[in-house]
Amino acid sequence: MGAGFENVSLVIEGTTATVTVDRPKVLNALNRATLVELLRVFDRFKSDEAIRAVVLTGAGEKAFVAGADISEMSGMTSAEALRFAEMGHELGDAIERLRVPVVAAVNGFALGGGCELALACDFIYASDRAKFGQPEVALGVIPGFGGTQRLARRVGIGRAREMVLLGAPIDATKALAWGLVNEVVPAGELLPRVQGVAKAIASKGPLAVAAAKRIMHAGADVPLAVAHEMERQAFAVLFDSKDQKEGMAAFGEKRAPAWCAR
């Protein structure tokens, strides 16, 4: 697996990183050990300025993440379940707050915690074999990693209620129609397509990309007038950066910019 991980693999190529949940024998189910490793990975990215985009996917051909590990959850006490949910929320928050975009490549089942993990990403590309769902009510519980909230923000409250209260999965075609995913790609083309998207993001101004991600997330939960002011301030601050000078000079000189993230 590399980098001291047992359940997660990390591959860095230039300015992009690919993180893979690597437990294919259990369809990449999220147990506590895997959540800890994912939190370590995303904590590492916070201080690695060389990384400018991240791809998140699952090992094998069947699953992105088929859910939280039911064999581990079944014996939890209420206090243990609370801590487990807190870990899932910590991971989702770490992905959302990361300065660089995280793109999910959903190659199969994204159920329960897997759907919630994808929802924390900035956007989602799906294999034509992918299925998304929040089936927790069939187990006597509810989504615990942010699904009751992020799903509604992504697809609207009516469709979110349908997915959560019925607990039935939807296929990639419906997920695209509902706005849950950005694009559906043939299974064999998914990872190269998403890695290409990540490289395209990484080629843009890193300070600008980070500011845009931050403002879009923060602005979603405040009044529009406040969000507009946040945007104006972030726009203006970037004019004090070396990257703004370089980006506009490169445009005028018809060459590729040499970003310094300063």
Give catalytic residues, as residue numbers. 116, 136
Distance in angstroms (rounded) separating the CA atoms of residues 174 and 169: 10
Buried b (16+ CB within 10 A) or exposed e, 97-118: ebbbbbbbbbbbbbbbbbbbbb
Cβ-contact 103, 123 below 8 angstroms: yes
- Max distance between CA atoms of the chain, in angstroms, equals 64
155 has which bridge partners?
none
Tell me how far apart the alpha carbons of residues 21 and 134 are, in angstroms, rounded to a whole number: 19
Query: Assign residue 118 a region: left if phi > 0, alpha if psi is -120 to 50, beta otherwise?
Result: alpha
3-class state of residue 53 by DSSP:
strand
